[in-house]
Amino acid sequence: MIILSISSVVFYSIMALNYLPLMLFSIATNYYCGRKIIESRKRQVLVLGIIFNLSLIFVFKYVDFFVSTISHSQPFLWNEIIPLGISFYTFTQISFLVDAYKGEISQDVTFPSYFLFVTYFPHLIAGPILHHKEMIDQFSQKIKYNINYENISVGLTFFCMGLFKKVVIADSLIPYVRPVFEAASFAETLTPLECWCGAFSYTFQLYFDFSGYSDMAIGISKLFNFNLPFNFNSPYKATSIIDFWKRWHISLSNFLRDYLYVPLGGNRKGSTRRYVNIFITMVLGGVWHGANLTFLFWGVYHGVLICLNHLWRSFSERKSQLFVGRFLKTISTFLFVVVGWVIFRSKDIQTSLYFLKRMFYFPDYINVPAGWSGALYRLNINPLDYGLQFAEMPYFSGKNHIIILCVVGFLCFFLKNTQELLIPQMDTKVKMFYKWQPNTRWAIIIVLISSYSIFKIGSASEFLYFQF
């Protein structure tokens, strides 16, 4: 435990030494508050502890935003660089304080185990948000500190597959995302094809970036015989927005449900209050991602969608299980999510509105890329006969762009996710041939994808979820 704690501190120091005192101060304060709550169950201590944690997040993430928005003055540039992992370790500690007040924390929790629980390095950068029930008991089990070769093999596989998702898939989409969103920020003329392909590219980039980091965190943790919670379960296969939020960033969804939605009253105070609570929860979940009105509106957007989803379910008891019905629900949910990601990714609200306007500017749907003229004429297709027009599309990369989107879309919609492949009990319907097994075939696959991933590490890269 001590070695892991030291390793976690060293890891954090390498990444963000300047903010190490802040994290240590936060840990010491929260542990002190937690012990006081366990001993006395005083509500005042809980309130002070929560205020302390939220104040840290406010100061280091939102001060500049409020100063520049409310007073229209120059920001302090205090939030130019957000302390690494502050949202994750702060939310983790808030849940600890609340559960201590509920009497769900054991009296035997020691400072070393709590320290490791908060600083445990696999989750610090991009989550998941940990819960004490999931981790502290594991840290106290002596058997966890023995070598387990099966866990090592599973952990390496998780890590390599996560690295492949991040470096090979997510980073390869950067050239198709950044230019089109930058063009939108300058209100350049964009065709619907350019906008939709840019939006799809970001949708897949964000998923494989965040999912890849989560897989790597699970894999590293598995090497030490510890089990981190799964944070993704094929979210783009969701058949509704409600289903999407049960699959996307699961640890955040659970935190918002247990420590915000339920305390607000949940669904215990009537349907109207339920919708209000859902809306407030999603808005605050959006704001959690950063100090920008785009995150606020993204939260509003999903809050409205979830309320409408619940309203629709209340009027429709019948739930079709036919393939066509499920297919249409999955595609429609995915498109709603894509629109939301445009708001999420945009520089500001004006950019997002302009981007969405160009996506749905139907008069320009007749435009086809000028570079396709030769291929169409060779196929004896005259676009003019169909009312189509050739247009220059500098932010559309032609057939390569389409092929890449089809490939990553296939990976998201039709293949099993990492945990389904590696953890047999999660899906017993999958044939054992597709299951991970410590055999030669899988060893070759992992060596190949890890080698190619390492080769690609030097390429252009974005760290999307670090900023949250």
* Enzyme catalytic residues: 289
Which structure tokens are listed for 44?
Answer: 């005042």
How far apart CA 171 and CA 83 sit, in angstroms, is 24
End-to-end CA distance of the chain: 28
Q: Name residue 406's amino acid.
A: C
Q: Which residues of 434-467 are buried (b: 16+ CB within 10 A; e: fewer)?
A: eebeeeeebeeebeebbeebeebeeeeebebbee
How far apart CA 262 and CA 256 sit, in angstroms, is 8
**Burial grade of 3 (CB within 10 A; 0-12, 13-18, 19 or more):** exposed
Which structure tokens are listed for 237?
Answer: 């296969």
Comparing CA positions, the residue from 228, 151, 14, 31 lying closest to residue 6 is: 14
Residue 273: CB partners within 8 Å, gap ≥ 6? Answer: 265
How far apart CA 50 and CA 314 sit, in angstroms, is 35
Report in angstroms the alpha-carbon separations of 51 from 46, 58, 94, 280: 9, 10, 10, 19
Residue 187 φ then ψ, to 5°? 60, 35
Helix 43-61 with 20-40: angle, nearest 10 deg: 160
Q: Are 253 and 172 in contact (CB under 8 A)?
A: no
Q: Alpha helix (H) ranges present in 80-148?
A: 86-101, 111-119, 121-124, 132-139
How far apart CA 18 and CA 77 sit, in angstroms, is 16
Which structure tokens are listed for 110?
Answer: 């020691």
